[in-house]
Amino acid sequence: MPVRLVPVVGSALGLVLAVVLVIGAAIDSPVLAALAGGLLGTAVLAVQLDSWRRVRSLRTYLRDEIRASRAPAQPTAAAGPSEADLLGAVQLLQAQYTGRLDRMQAALDDALARTGSQADHDLR
């Protein structure tokens, strides 16, 4: 039986047993009602047990797949920095240092110019 037909057949069987249960109760036939109720209960239990089994097997399958995906891959040696990387880093540091020296020289020249003009002003 194809897997897609299992829920349809199970639902049809459950509806038939429920109708037989109602008919048995309506015609005052306790044997028929008890038999239909027992069969319906057994079918529900069988479906529940099958669902439980499927959930357990899915948990096991997923746990195994997760463990397999976490397995350590072949270690790869990390490549060190290339010569171009090192040269670029040195050039960047050199540019920053030169910029700082230029700003310091400009600030020193401004301070000397102000001090010099103030000294000239004080001498007069």
Cα–Cα distance measured from residue 13 to residue 37, given in angstroms and rounded to the nearest whole number: 12
Do 59 and 96 reside in the same domain of the chain? no
- Calculate the average pLDDT of the chain: 83
Instruction: Calculate mean pLDDT across residues 85-112.
Output: 92
- What's the total number of domains in the chain? 2
Buried b (16+ CB within 10 A) or exposed e, 65-85: eeeeeeeeeeeeeeeeeeeee
Do residue 34 and residue 63 come from a single domain? yes
Q: Is residue 75 part of a domain?
A: no
Residue 114 lies in a domain: yes
Structural domain contains residue 28: yes
Question: Which pTM was predicted?
Answer: 0.42
Query: What pLDDT, on the 0 to 100 scale, is given for residue 42?
Result: 84
Asked if residue 107 has pLDDT above 90, the reply is: yes
Any alpha helices (H) in the chain, and if so which ranges? 5-26, 30-69, 83-123
How confident is the model over 68-73, as a mean pLDDT?
Answer: 77
Q: Are residues 9 and 65 in the same domain?
A: yes
Residues 54 and 12 in one domain: yes
The Cα–Cα gap between 21 and 112 comes to 109
Hey, is 1 helix, strand or coil? coil
Confidence of residue 93 (pLDDT cuts 50, 70, 90): very high
The pLDDT of residue 34 is above 70: yes
What pLDDT does 7 receive? 74
Integer Cα distance of 91 and 94 in angstroms? 5
pLDDT of residue 28: 86
Same-domain pairing of 65 and 17: yes
Task: Flag whether 106 is in a domain.
Answer: yes
Domain assignment of residue 11, given as a range = 5-69
